[in-house]
Chain A
Amino acid sequence: MATWAIYKRELKTYFQSPSTYIVIALIFLLMGMIFQNIMAEFSDLSMRSQQMGMWGQQQQAPNVTHMVIRGVFYVMFSLILFSIPLLSMRLLAEEKSRGTLEMIVTCPVGDWSLIMGKYLALVSVGVFMIILSSLFPLMVWYVGKPGSVPEWPIVGSLWIGLLLIFAAYSAFGLMASSMTENQMAAGVVTLIGLLLWNMMGDFQIEQFPQVNTILKEMSASQHTENFLTGVLALKDFVFYILSSFLFLFIASKTLDARRWRV
């Protein structure tokens, strides 16, 4: 019940805050602009392909799912990385700086309930964004001719991938927010941490090829590839779910440790 109460209050805070709408609006503005560009390019290619067919030359028609939808979602995967610090930075840092955390911990509420209530609220914002993102495949489906309709299994794989990535990034953001009372510091740590987590697969140490393999496997970007191609691999599910649990566990322990330190 406590988790549910915290979840509801947190969700209300998100949807009463203008910053949430600004973040979502910016993401969808950028996605919309990119969608328009890719669609124009797709129409151009389709037309050229038809003309070539009329001249008796064989050319494979462009695939709307691969070109348009995957392109737009690829951008969304990246934009999420930049939106998470803005959405997660206040979660615990604000409670600590304002002193409201003290009143919650005196209630019969475990640290885990508090963490989960806040985490699930942030993930719900992600679900809201993913639902909004369905506008793009729906638009393609609505205006598309037979043969140009989206491949829904691939779209489903993209949605699942987005949700898992959003959940893992949110857990990272919550962990950073548990470590400081300063919201700005929490946001910066989240942004740098998420960038490093995505780029760690690119670091190469020539003397230690095994280390390179481990770094690559631990990199967040390494596990987005399959979702973009419509492949649902168990290892990617396990990777993101375990990462989320690890970050949430660290967040709860950080809250606990604060009682010793202060």
Chain B
Amino acid sequence: MAVIETQGLSKVYVRDVIDTEYGRLRIRLTGRKTVALDNLNLDVNKGEIFGLLGPNGAGKTTTIKILMGIHFASSGTAKIMGKPLGDRAVKSRIGFLPENPYFYDYLKGWEFLDFYGQLYGIDKRKRRAKVEELLALVGLTHAANIPLRGYSKGMNQRIGLAQALMNDPDIVFLDEPQSGLDPLGRKEVRDLILGLRKQGKTVFFSSHILSDAEMICDRVAILFKGKLRSVGRLSELLSSSVTEWEIVLRDVDERFINRWRDRLERVVESEGEWWLISKSQDLTDAIIDAATRDGGKLSALTPRRQSLEDYFISEVKGS
């Protein structure tokens, strides 16, 4: 069942006639329009982790801002849980972490969460318990009484995540949740997102960190210059067949390698071993047969499949 649906969603940003650019006043009569999103059709199913991927300026944040009701779409429609955007009842069932969360930095960690709890209409007793639970979940119990201006980038991201979960949402929108985090922090966020899926929540997140997306997403959509390039399960998008083989040979001489060099993608010699990259199964078999006949030994044979990064780059380059 689709909990997020968009149909022909488009957004054109219009700059003011009198605008400032790089600190200078600029009067602009033409070229004021920028197409940020063009005819986006998406369905996100209940309980899945959906990744919206794309390079900077692809339209990821615009999509999330439209779905959150921060911006209005220029055309097209979207629904969350079957209701039109902006529905107050739906808002109380979704959580949101913006790309660069800005907080009231004079508030302490617990005060900040408590404030959002009040905005969601949670009563005092439940709020206190929820604040404690979330601070523990994101590992900030020790910083509960520190004003947010004393938080590091990673701590800010984690308190932002806690804020997005304050109302125990059914759908969580996370805009670049791993940006600015170190590898450990990224892993914690990954684990948190996987934990949300276990609880039956839907997670819609944007990212350009493809390795993380590949690890946790059930489905992904690739946006480029405001247009949807592809959408689907990773297993559907990425070629399941092997795209290249890595052959490692020992006890073969350079003359043997030179016989095949032209047909190989790459050849590297290292510590008496030859590392060969072949794009064809037949070529791989032939090299191994010939090497064995000539007294050589096969140290390793590694078939390689397409990664999300390979697919992403081919899609973006293709457009």
Contact = CB atoms under 8 A, between A and B. Distances in A.
A64 B92 CA distance: 58
A99 B96 CA distance: 14
Contact of B106 (A16, A99, A262): A16
Q: Is the interface of A mostly helix, strand, loop or mixed?
A: helix
Contacts of A60: none
Interface stretch (A107-115, A122-130, A164-172): A107-115
Interface residues of A, number: 24
Contacts of B88: 108, 110
Interface in B58-109: 65, 68-72, 88-89, 91-92, 94, 96, 98, 100-104, 106-107
A1 B13 CA distance: 34
Given A16-B106, A99-B100, A99-B102, A105 B70 contact: yes
Contact of B103 (A100, A259, A260): A100
Q: Is the interface of B mostly helix, strand, loop or mixed?
A: loop
Contacts of B72: 259-260
B98 A99 contact: yes
A145 interface: no
Nearest to B94: A106
B71 A108 contact: no
Interface stretch (A2-10, A18-26, A31-39, A226-234): A2-10
Contacts of A5: 115, 118-119
B118 A1 contact: yes
Contacts of A13: 104, 106
A1 B106 CA distance: 22
Most B Cβ at <10 Å: residue of A1, A99, A108: A108
A188 to B, nearest CB: 16
B151 interface: no
B129 interface: no
A102 B70 contact: yes
B121 interface: yes
Given A2-B118, A103-B103, A259-B72, 18 more contacts: A2-B119, A5-B115, A9-B115, A98-B102, A99-B101, A99-B102, A100-B104, A102-B70, A106-B68, A106-B69, A107-B119, A108-B91, A108-B92, A108-B119, A108-B121, A259-B71, A262-B13, A262-B71
Interface of B: 13-14, 65, 68-72, 88-89, 91-92, 94, 96, 98, 100-104, 106-107, 115-116, 118-121, 163
Task: Report, nearest first, the 9 A-B pairs whose CB atoms are least far apart.
Answer: A5-B118, A99-B102, A108-B91, A107-B119, A108-B92, A106-B96, A259-B72, A106-B68, A98-B102
